[in-house]
Amino acid sequence: MMETRLETPSDSLNGLSHGYPSLVVGLVNNMLVAALESTERQFRSLLLAASGQLSIFLRVFSIPDPRRSELGREYVRQRCTTLDALWMERLDGLIVTGTEPRAQHFPDEPYWPALTRLIDYAGANTISTIWSCLAAHAAVYHLDGIERRPFEQKLFGVFECSKSGDHPIVRDAPSRWWVPHSRHNGLAEEELLAGDYRVLSRSPVVGADIFVKQGNSLAVFVQGHPEYEPDTLVREYRRDVRRFVAGERETYPEIPLGYFDQETAARFGELRANIVGTRHDQTLATFPSAAGHLSFNWRQSAVRLYSNWLSYLCAQKYPDESLKKSSCAGASQAA
């Protein structure tokens, strides 16, 4: 099984390789070729920033998906391990990414049998699993039959959410924080509460942001994308504009909310006016640069979320009180 060690700040200071408690974390990267590498990079960076004094060993897996191009399949062959290697292992923590939905109903997705097996595996063989975006919707549907609901238009941008519950996952978090969201579907908060899920953060716009359910393993569901890099949303926006120009979507995409400054948003508005009705590819040659004009106000809260999660894993794996205080707390201090 492919395994890599995240280099932590403490290593660079004192050269220790195994001087601190270690955690084995799996990442199941379900993205298609355009986002495979960037998604892995985002989660690696976030885990590194959140790890503090912990030694984190990362194992990267991927669910087989026939929609992948040859380039995507080659990336998976070189960088990921198949799920067959996972079933007989036990991980401390697991992160499962989403992917672009193609079918209206989950059972119609080609990866559904493998994903349901992964959901069952995670509940019995991890201390905790983070289910990201579409993976959160899939897990809730498989576990409790709660259906995602489609939006009239894509929820896209950076939104302020408020803390709505106490739990180790949001320990020492501020009362409000910002988080990117990029999705076409959502889960009704009232159905989650009726299914014994605990909502830890929410907003009137995005609904439930982070929620959890405790079983043999702690399931953490994140509908947003705290792992995103500063330019991820603008890259998604450009992709959607290209799809409009190519005739792959009927409507011009909305500008991500709460993300561009006023001047940059105006430039993208001018681009829209130039493209609508023409769909000429050459207009994208002047796609405005947003460098230096993007909001990146979610990083601190993202590091806090993942450092709390790593601390939770550590505290469960190493129940000795001295380790809890001296080493497991190191992850949360990283935030």
DSSP string, 121-165: HHHHH-SEEEEETHHHHHHHHHHH-PPPEEEEEEEEEEEEEEE-S
The residues facing 130 across adjacent strands are 95, 220
Decide if 155 contacts 256 (C-beta within 8 A).
no
Closest by alpha carbon to 215, among 122, 109, 291?
122
The residues facing 5 across adjacent strands are 57
What are the distances in angstroms from CA 230 to CA 93, 265, 305? 26, 16, 18
Note if 137 is an active site residue: no
From the CA atom positions of the chain, what is the Rg in Å? 20
Which one of the listed residues 80, 133, 314, 328 is annotated catalytic?
133
Which one of the listed residues 225, 236, 314, 328 is annotated catalytic?
225
Note if 181 is an active site residue: no
Note if 225 is an active site residue: yes
Q: Other CB atoms closer than 10 Å to residue 20's CB: what's the count?
A: 23
What are the distances in angstroms from CA 99 to CA 36, 68, 132, 158, 165? 10, 11, 9, 19, 28
3-class DSSP state of 181: strand
Which one of the listed residues 40, 109, 227, 236 is annotated catalytic?
227
Dig out the tokens for 158 from the structure.
């950076």
Q: Other CB atoms closer than 10 Å to residue 187's CB: what's the count?
A: 22
Dig out the tokens for 238 from the structure.
């450009």
Q: Other CB atoms closer than 10 Å to residue 174's CB: what's the count?
A: 11
Any idea of the CA torsion for 64, 58, 106, 111, to the nearest 10 degrees? 10
- Residues involved in catalysis: 133, 225, 227
